Amino acid sequence: MSSAVLVRRDGRDATPVTPGFDRVVEALGYAVDRRVRTTRAEHSRYGVGPATVERLAEVVAETGVTYVAVDDDLGPGQLADLAAAVPAATVRDRRGVVSDGLGAAGGSVAANRAEEWTLQVERRRLLNAARAADGESEGAHEDRVADVDRRRQRLNEEREALAEAARRAVETGHEAAGARVVVAETVGTDADPSPWAALADGDADANGDAGSDADGDPTRADENPLAPGEPVTESIPVAAGTVALTAVPPLLRDCPAWYREAVPGTTAAVERADIVVVAAGDASAASAAVDALRDTDEGPLLVWRRDDCAGDTDPSAAGLPAELSVYGGSASGLRERVTALLPTERLSVRLPYDDDAHALVSWLYEHTHVEAVDYDDVVTATLVAFPDAAATVRRRVDAVGGSVED
C-alpha cells in the first residue's frame, strides 16, 4: 500500500475538521504515515504557509510518500503551486479527497466532479508554465490548455446528464410507498447499528446490537466511510403501509457547494423526504447540514444522537429549529420514534352491510392499518393510513355509499 501524509491548517479562517478524513484517504489505498499541522493563516499562494510546504517537501523526499491530503478547501492555483513544490506526490485538498472517496463508493457524479477538478488544477499549472516559457514553447502550452478545456467541457456535459439521472432515480422510484424516510450519518459518526439497520431491521434490540452487521446495509458495504456513494432505496413495511427507506452518503457538517454538486441524488432525496434521520454527535451540525441540502428549512429532522449525553432534547431549549427533534435511545426505540412521526391519518369508516362492504374491508386490510372492525347493521372500521391511501379510502367508501370521519 502506498503511503500518505495528512496536512491540516487550524485557525479561525480554516474549514471545519473533517471527521474520518484519514479513513477516506485509507479507503483510497493509502496508509497514513505522517501528519503535518500548522496554525498559520491561509497563505495566498499555497493555502498552507511556506514553512509547511518546505516541511512537506522534506517528508516526501525522506519517506517516499506519494499522496498529500490537505484537510482544507484550496483554490486551483493554490493546489497547482503546492503540487509543483512536491512534484513526487499527488496533492489533493478536501474537495478532491472527498470527491475521490464518493467516487470510489459508487458516486458517478462525484467521480466526474473529481476528474474535472483535477483538470482545473492542471489548467492552472499549464498557464503558469506558459507564462514562464520562452516564445517557442508558449504555443505548445496554449495547445495543451485548449485540450484541457475541451476535456472539461465534455465532463461538464456528462455530469449534467449524470446528475439528472440521479435525481430522476430518486424522484420516480418506489412511487407506491406511502412515505419517504431518508437516513444519513455525519461523516465519521459510524453509529452501531447504522440508522439504516436500525430502521430496516425490525428485530434490532434495545441494546442496539442487532443490525450492525445486517445483510444488505448499503452504509456498511465496505470500509469506505463515504459509502454509499449514491442513494440506495428499499421498501420496508410499517403498520400503516410501506415506507421508502433511502440511505444517502454521509454528510459534511458544512455541506459546501462543491459537495452538494457531487451528490445530486442526495439533495433530491432530502427535499422529497417526509422525515430525515441523521445519526450524529452534534445536533446543530446535523441540522445545518440538512438545511444546506434542501431549499427550505421545513420538514421533520430527527437526529439520533450518538454521544455520551444520550437522551431526548428539547430543541427550543437548545436553540435548535422547532421541527428538529433529538433522540438518544436505542435502535428499536428509534424505529418506534420514526414510525410515530410518519405522516398518517386516523379514519373512522361506516359502510352499508353488503358484498361491496366486505370487499372493501379486505382492501383496507391490504392497504392500511386496520385497528378494529365491527359488523352490525352497518360495518364500522377504525384505521390508520398514509395520506395518499387515505384519499383513496375516501373515494372508495363514497363509491359504495359509506361515510368517513377523521
CATH number at residue 86: 3.40.50.11060
β pairing state of 369-375 and 378-385: antiparallel
Same domain, 40 and 92: yes
Length of the chain: 406
pLDDT at 223 over 80: yes
- In this prediction, residue 316 carries a pLDDT of 46
pLDDT value of residue 190: 83
Average pLDDT of span 329-339 = 88
CATH code of 351's domain: 3.30.70.260
pLDDT in tens, 256-310: 999 999 999 999 999 999 999 999 888 888 888 898 888 765 678 899 976 544 4
Q: Are residues 74 and 62 in the same domain?
A: yes
How much is the pLDDT for 263?
97
Do 34 and 144 reside in the same domain of the chain? yes
In this structure, the answer to whether residues 333 and 220 fall within a common structural domain is: yes
Q: Is the pLDDT of residue 191 over 90?
A: no
Greater confidence (403 vs 314) lies with 403
Whether the pLDDT of residue 239 is over 90: the answer is no
180 and 150 belong to one structural domain: no
The reported pLDDT for the residue numbered 212 is 36
**Structural domains of the chain, count:** 3
For residues 335 and 349, membership in a common domain is answered with: no
Are 306 and 367 in contact by the 8 Å Cβ rule? The answer is no
Task: Reply yes or no on whether the pLDDT at 254 is more than 50.
Answer: yes
What is the average pLDDT value for the chain, to the nearest integer? 88
Q: How far apart are CA 265 and CA 160, in angstroms?
A: 12
**Predicted local confidence at residue 285, as pLDDT:** 84
- CB count within 10 Å of CB 44 equals 10
Backbone angles phi, psi at 192, to 5 degrees: -130, 110
Which cell numbers hold the place of 297?
Answer: 428549512
Tens of pLDDT, residues 49-82: 999 999 999 999 999 999 999 999 999 999 999 9
In the prediction, which pLDDT does 210 show? 38
pTM: 0.86
Domain shared by 24 and 112, yes or no? yes
Please say if the pLDDT value at position 346 is more than 90: yes
We report the CATH number of the domain holding residue 204 as 3.40.50
Do 217 and 196 sit in the same domain of this protein?
yes
Place of cell 448499503: 218
**CA–CA dist 25, 226 (Å, integer):** 11
Q: Which residue has the higher pLDDT, 281 or 164?
A: 164
CA angle 34, 23, 292 (to 5 degrees): 120
User: Which of 144, 166, 188 is the last residue before a domain boundary?
Assistant: 166
Given a contact cutoff of 8 angstroms between Cβ atoms, the answer to whether 110 and 88 are in contact is no
Any idea which of 42-46, 104-108, 323-327 has the lowest mean pLDDT?
323-327
Task: Give the bridge partners for 384, in sequence order.
Answer: 346, 369
Q: How does residue 136 score in pLDDT terms, banded at 50, 70 and 90?
A: low
Q: What is the mean pLDDT of residues 171-194?
A: 90
Q: Are residues 333 and 353 in the same domain?
A: no
Residue 140 has pLDDT above 50, yes or no: yes
Q: Is the dihedral of CA 38, 39, 40, 46 positive or negative?
A: positive
Place of cell 454528510: 251
pLDDT digits (tens, 9 = 90+) for 105-130: 999 999 999 999 999 999 999 998 88
pLDDT for residue 392: 96
- pLDDT digits over 375-402, tens only? 999 999 999 999 999 999 999 999 999 9
Residues 313 and 180 in one domain: yes
State whether 202 and 115 are in the same domain.
no
Domain ranges, residue 350: 345-405
Which pLDDT score, from 0 to 100, does residue 16 have?
82
More confident of the two residues 46 and 40: 46
- Looking at the fold, whether 150 and 13 belong to one and the same domain comes out as yes
- Decide which of 166, 187, 213 is a domain's last residue: 166
Indicate the residue among 109, 134, 166 that finishes a domain. 166
> Cα separation of 144 and 366, whole Å?
64
Looking at 64-210, list the stretches that DSSP marks H as alpha helix, in order from N- to C-terminal side.
76-85, 94-104, 108-132, 135-172, 195-200
